[in-house]
Structure 1
Amino acid sequence: MTSFEARTRECQRQLADDEALVLFPSPNCYYLGGFDEEPGERHFFLFVPSSGDPAFVVPELYAEQVQTSTWVEDVRTWADDEDPLEVVREVAADLDVADAHLLLDATMWARFVLDLQRALPDATVGLADEVLTALRVRKDEHELDALREAADVADAVVEGVRDLGADAVGMTERELARDVESRLYEHGAETLAFDIIVGSGPNGAQPHHGAGDRTIESGDPVVLDFGARVDHYPSDQTRTVVFDGDPPAEFETVHETVREAQNAAVSIVEPGVEAQEVDAVARSVIEDAGYGEQFVHRTGHGVGLEVHESPYIVDGNDRELEPGMVFSVEPGIYLDGEFGVRIEDLVVVTEDGHERLNTTPRGWRV
């Protein structure tokens, strides 16, 4: 039994008798079916009943790709001159789910949701997250190995970028982002985890700035946030550095505060601790230093097939941490119009504590 089939069978055990999953190209579809594809305009579904074998409904041009990539044996196809909803009705009847409670991908495009409702008027709909979030939140060893490898790629790249030193001064943020991208692929990234963030000087005070045309100047704090995907799983690491020159007067205090907050939050990670407690520890350090108003986001987010997924490390989330959970710990302080500081590592909850996936220096000097 492949890991994908094992996940599917476990998922089926969580479904009520009158429930079924209907997924479209998404992380959920890959998690169960093992086939990875971007959403497109054609009808593409994975039906997972509460018992028995699942079935794919795919465009004819995908038939061979799906059949050779997935453990699912039942792959129904439709041609471009045919009505895909006829195949949907046929599969639903064969799997006895035409009047079931269908749990759909939260990211399924509206046109496909409406088409499913039109094709299966006796069915009701809900969200697949009701079942799959609880399964995906704990990573198996294969997933953890991929996440570790992706973190190693990010670690290697941030070390190389630090070595640029004064050579980074005079580059634009976009030029440095392209340099980071090249290094990620050189070190084994299959794709980027997300758009690279290079926030220099005042741009660093925007947590999701991206990378623009501003030229990096001597003394600029630069927020570097990037990651790589390896075997479908991403890394996500942030460091804030000064490539050359003297930073603003308040910068060292802010950076040390963020580093203390991150270390304090990571130190309490273990099974049984509530997610909101990790957030509270980081926030208390920053508030005690007088920067509470400048910490404007949650302390972290889960990482798996998606860069942002459960568990969210935020006030109000009383979910207890469990072995196999992976999430970021990334407190930050942002002084509008001046600079920002964020430090981020990925952390795995182990049986008796935690493991940091990122091990590069967290200081600002290069």
Structure 2
Amino acid sequence: MERREFLAAGGAAIADWGLRIADWSGRTSDAANPQSAIRNPQSRQEPSLSPEVFARRLDRARAELEARRFDCLIATPSTNYEYLTGYNPGRSERLIALIVPLHGAPAVVCPSFEVERIERHGAIADARGWEEQDDPYALVRDTVGRLAPRAGTIALEPSTGYQTSLRLAAALPRWKFVDAAPVTERLRIVKAPEEVALIRRAIEITQGAMTATFAQLAVGMTERDVARLLSHEMQQRGAEGGGLVQFGPSSALPHGGPAAAALERETVVLIDCGCRVGGYESDITRTVWFGDRPADEFHKVFNVVHDAQSAAIELGRPGTPCQDMDRAARKVIAAAGYGSFFTHRLGHGLGMDGHEPPYLVEGNALRLEPGMVFTDEPGIYQLGKFGVRIEDDCVMTEKGVEILSQRASKL
């Protein structure tokens, strides 16, 4: 079996990469023991963080409401709902709504048969049930009236469905509804130490799974075969995940694969993947050469992409505009003559969602702050030939960019 013929893997032997991952086992954040806030990161049914974490989040939500002169926040099941409660019960035709007043304790309106589930798995003690024959929006109206007796402004979670939004507005005609995105984005964009700790765990699992997957590549495997193997390796390490697997010309599609293409010698293999630990995501891309010796053009393109990634890392400091990070990487690629082949933004925020603010893209003048977690993933994509993307996960610190994942070396 030709199982290890890919070892021109971004300039670093896979065995060495794995050893470096193992070295992270005792690594923690600069904050005092963020692990103490983590309860059960692998559970799908219980909050992975302590009750104190959710109490602080609700306090911060109220502070954001007050700063914007909003009186109440309503969120239906979503990532933002989960951020505030520790649990996402999922959306259906039956209304579930979290109500956070400016003053006082929050409540959840839900079907009566869901009350026990909501209270057991989430951080909100007050769940108010409606019966199947009842109007759930009437219960929302009554609950808002009790928690926030004077009508004002409700910030509505931005992913709430259109029909739900209309029915909430009809049930609360004296209230003004506004988009809650400024509130929820501000809450989530800067990660607390316990959040970064969970992202680190997800990264460790992802890189371990990638190492094991690359080591098992063999001629004749399909992209789907490798994708299944990758997911299995993540499951073996205690996390659910997977990703894109692309061979040869398919690697020139930023979001291509997996398909039935079979692996051949002397070709490019691109894997973009991540997993979820305690509600937090990782997102890493590696591009390797499967064969004896990388083609000269692959060698050149890989190093240009690596230099572009380095340029953004070296530039990044607290206060750096997001668009400047993109510009720094793009300048390197353009100078090498590949500017038109870098077809997407440099990166995106990473946390409970795989893609979330901040976005490292031209036109985004938002300034990076300590605690922001984001990807740095420049790429060059030549249709009909091959593509190279290198993606690492980073956190902004007081001193600059800290790379959370183990970077590939230059060729």
Which residue identity lines up with residue 155 of structure 1 in the other structure?
Q
1:213 pairs with 232, 244, 260, which one? Answer: 260
Following superposition, the deviation at residue 350 of structure 1 comes to: 1.1
- Relative to the length of structure 1, the TM-score reads 0.94
Partner residue, 1:149? 201
Partner residue, 1:182? 232
Cα distance in 2, alignment partners of residues 225 and 24 from structure 1: 31
User: Are residues 270 and 18 of structure 1, via their aligned partners in 2, closer, same or farther at CA, if it must alter by over 3 Å?
Assistant: closer
CA offsets, 1:235-279, max 9 Å, x none?
Answer: 000000122245554211111110111122112222122211111
Give secondary structure in 1 for the equivalent of 2:345: coil
1:236-251 paired onto structure 2 within 5 Å: 236-251=283-298
Following superposition, the deviation at residue 96 of structure 1 comes to: 2.4
The answer as to 2:133 corresponding to 1:43 is no
Following superposition, the deviation at residue 21 of structure 1 comes to: 0.9
Provide runs of 4+ in structure 1 moved above 6 Å. Answer: none
2:356 pairs with 304, 309, 320, which one? Answer: 309
User: Are residues 46 and 200 of structure 1, via their aligned partners in 2, closer, same or farther at CA, if it must alter by over 3 Å?
Assistant: same
Cα distance in 1, alignment partners of residues 341 and 160 from structure 2: 36
2:338 pairs with 288, 291, 295, which one? Answer: 291
CA offsets, 1:165-185, max 9 Å, x none?
Answer: xx4321111110000000011
CA offsets, 1:96-138, max 9 Å, x none?
Answer: 2674322112211122112112211222222211112112111
CA offsets, 1:126-173, max 9 Å, x none?
Answer: 221111211211111110110000000111112112222xx4321111
- Relative to the length of structure 2, the TM-score reads 0.84
Which residue identity lines up with residue 392 of structure 2 in the other structure?
D
1:16-55 paired onto structure 2 within 5 Å: 16=66, 17-55=69-107
Contact 2:392–2:407 at 8 Å: present in 1 too?
no
Contact 1:200–1:214 at 8 Å: present in 2 too?
yes
Cα distance in 2, alignment partners of residues 18 and 197 from structure 1: 42
Cα distance in 1, alignment partners of residues 99 and 149 from structure 2: 9
Partner residue, 1:272? 319
Partner residue, 2:62? 12
Cα distance in 2, alignment partners of residues 326 and 18 from structure 1: 28
1:1-366 paired onto structure 2 within 5 Å: 2-16=52-66, 17-96=69-148, 99-164=151-216, 167-189=217-239, 191-192=240-241, 196-359=243-406, 361-362=408-409
Contact 2:269–2:288 at 8 Å: present in 1 too?
yes
Contact 1:154–1:235 at 8 Å: present in 2 too?
yes
Cα distance in 2, alignment partners of residues 160 and 270 from structure 1: 34
- Unaligned runs of 5+ residues in structure 1 are none
Cα distance in 2, alignment partners of residues 14 and 360 from structure 1: 37
Contact 1:268–1:278 at 8 Å: present in 2 too?
yes
Give secondary structure in 2 for the equivalent of 1:227: strand
Give secondary structure in 1 for the equivalent of 2:352: coil
Cα distance in 2, alignment partners of residues 91 and 28 from structure 1: 20
Contact 1:20–1:97 at 8 Å: present in 2 too?
no
Give secondary structure in 2 for the equivalent of 1:160: helix
Structure with higher RCO (Cα < 8 A, 6+ apart): 2
Cα distance in 2, alignment partners of residues 230 and 198 from structure 1: 21
Contact 1:2–1:71 at 8 Å: present in 2 too?
no
Following superposition, the deviation at residue 26 of structure 1 comes to: 0.8
Contact 2:103–2:148 at 8 Å: present in 1 too?
no
Q: Let me know the Cα RMSD of the aligned residues.
A: 1.7
Cα distance in 1, alignment partners of residues 267 and 367 from structure 2: 39
- Unaligned runs of 5+ residues in structure 2 are 1-50
Following superposition, the deviation at residue 28 of structure 1 comes to: 0.7
Cα distance in 2, alignment partners of residues 283 and 221 from structure 1: 23
The alignment covers a number of residue pairs equal to: 359
Which residue identity lines up with residue 282 of structure 2 in the other structure?
S
Cα distance in 2, alignment partners of residues 362 and 327 from structure 1: 20
Which residue identity lines up with residue 230 of structure 1 in the other structure?
V
Contact 2:243–2:273 at 8 Å: present in 1 too?
yes
More divergent stretch after superposition (172-181 vs 77-86) = 77-86
